[in-house]
Structures are given as C-alpha cells and as structure tokens.
C-alpha cells in the first residue's frame, strides 16, 4: 500500500533550495496549507499534489512511499 510522505516533500523542497513560502507560491497554494501538509497535519488534495509535483518537476507519485499492510 502507498501512503503520502510529507518527509519526501520536505526533503525535496530543501534539496531545491526553497522555503515553504516560496514553494507554496510556486505551486499556487496558501503558505498555511503547505505548512499543514508538510508537517503531516492534513493530507493532500489531488489538485494540490499535481501543483506541487509541477512546481518541483516530479510526478505526483514521487510523494508516496510503500508501506506494509499490518492487517493480516
């Protein structure tokens, strides 16, 4: 199962040398909304993922990581 990784988002933002506010502006989302997303306080909308992926030049799938399903 794949889940959204706020850590991948944060690492890539820093790798690109952007502040949270700069990336939010480039992705045309609010800075507050971006901070909430990066800190894991809310999940992303599909439209937000697309904007962030475009701003960071990756596919939306980049922000997801594989996790094992513990329910067996």
Q: Write out the two tokens for 7.
A: 């850590």
Give the pair of three-digit tokens for residue 43: 């999940």
| 48 pLDDT more than 80 | yes
Residue 8's alpha-carbon distances to 13, 15, 70, 72, in angstroms, are 8, 10, 22, 27
Question: How much is the mean pLDDT over the chain?
Answer: 95
What integer pLDDT is reported at residue 34 of this predicted model?
Answer: 97
Residue where the block lists tokens 């475009």: 54
Return the pLDDT at 72: 53
Instruction: Give residue-wise pLDDT tens across range 21-34.
Output: 999 999 999 999 99
Look at residue 29 in the predicted model and tell me its pLDDT: 97
Work out the number of other CB atoms within 10 angstroms of the CB of residue 65.
12
* pTM of the complete model: 0.88
Domain-by-domain residue ranges, the chain?
Answer: 2-63
> Domain 2-63 is of which CATH architecture?
Orthogonal Bundle (1.10)
69/14: higher pLDDT: 14
């Amino acid at each position: 199962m794949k889940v959204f990784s706020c850590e991948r988002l944060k690492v890539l933002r820093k790798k690109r040398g952007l502040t949270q506010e700069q990336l939010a502006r480039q992705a045309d989302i609010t800075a507050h909304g971006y901070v909430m997303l990066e800190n894991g306080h809310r999940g992303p909308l599909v439209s937000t993922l697309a904007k962030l992926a475009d701003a960071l030049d990756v596919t939306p799938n980049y922000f997801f990581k594989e996790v094992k399903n513990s329910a067996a």
